[in-house]
Amino acid sequence: MDGARAVVIGGSRGIGRAVVEELTGLGAEVGIVSRTPFDAGDAGMQAAAVPAFEIRADVGTAAGRQALLQAWPADWDRLDALVHAAGMNVRKPTVEFTAEEYARILDTNLTSAFEITRALRPRLAAAGQASVVLVGSVAGQVSIGSGSVYAMSKAALEQMARTLAVEWGRAGIRVNVVSPWYTRTGLVAPVLSNPDVVARILDRTPLGRIAEPAEVARAITFLCLPASSYVTGHVINVDGGFSAYGFSPRPL
């Protein structure tokens, strides 16, 4: 990806942080947009990546998205890859969600992806061949107990990708989704701190372990590479076989 320009929304930690490292390692210039500072020493990362620029903004708000566009580097008029990895969750029964929690989850996970992607469309089109990758979740396909609002937002991302892949294909813009299962990030740390829950997760995972951020990031990176130039409108599950597993009469 020498000479390519990429931006990772939510690139300071977790899966987004791992994507920054993968893309940088392949020679891309990578800009980061996030609420929190870029963490060069994030646990599980292989080496320090140096971002081309860093914009601090809460993309889950209209003001934050406007701040992103205002701070966008003037010379970045071409964008080869856009990765949207920003996300949040509140885990509780559906009847207990407040209106504020509902809005905050959808604004962060879905509205930000929609608004930022369409705002950056001219820059993506200017690249001639560009890739948009949205980070979804298997929670958008089956119920995994992560909360209905989070699941709704991730399901909507998949349909957004399919629609934009068709609508923007003639402009040379590919749009895909990578949907992980439980991955060792701060977002799910409270869940993974419970040994009983971890045991249940592993019981439903044919590969028998929790994913590392870099493993998800590599699938995202593939979709940014010229090697995936004819892949658009698809969802790639990085889930250790979870979504393929229905039932086995014998223990895995």
The pLDDT tens digits of the residues spanning 33-47 come to 999 888 655 544 455
pLDDT-flagged residues of the chain (< 50) = 43-45
pTM value is: 0.94
* Max CA distance (Å), the chain: 60
Measured between alpha carbons, how far is residue 159 from residues 35, 55, 109 in Å? 26, 28, 14
So what's the pLDDT on residue 186?
85
Give me the catalytic one of 102, 150, 182, 245.
150
So what's the pLDDT on residue 250?
86
Give the C-alpha separation, 181 to 42, whole Å.
20
So what's the pLDDT on residue 114?
98
So what's the pLDDT on residue 82?
98
Whether residue 245 lies in the annotated active site = no
So what's the pLDDT on residue 247?
87
The dihedrals phi and psi of 220, each to the nearest 5 degrees, come to -65, -45
So what's the pLDDT on residue 66?
97
In order of start, what are the domains of the chain with their CATH numbers?
5-238 (3.40.50.720)
So what's the pLDDT on residue 187?
82
The dihedrals phi and psi of 235, each to the nearest 5 degrees, come to -120, 125
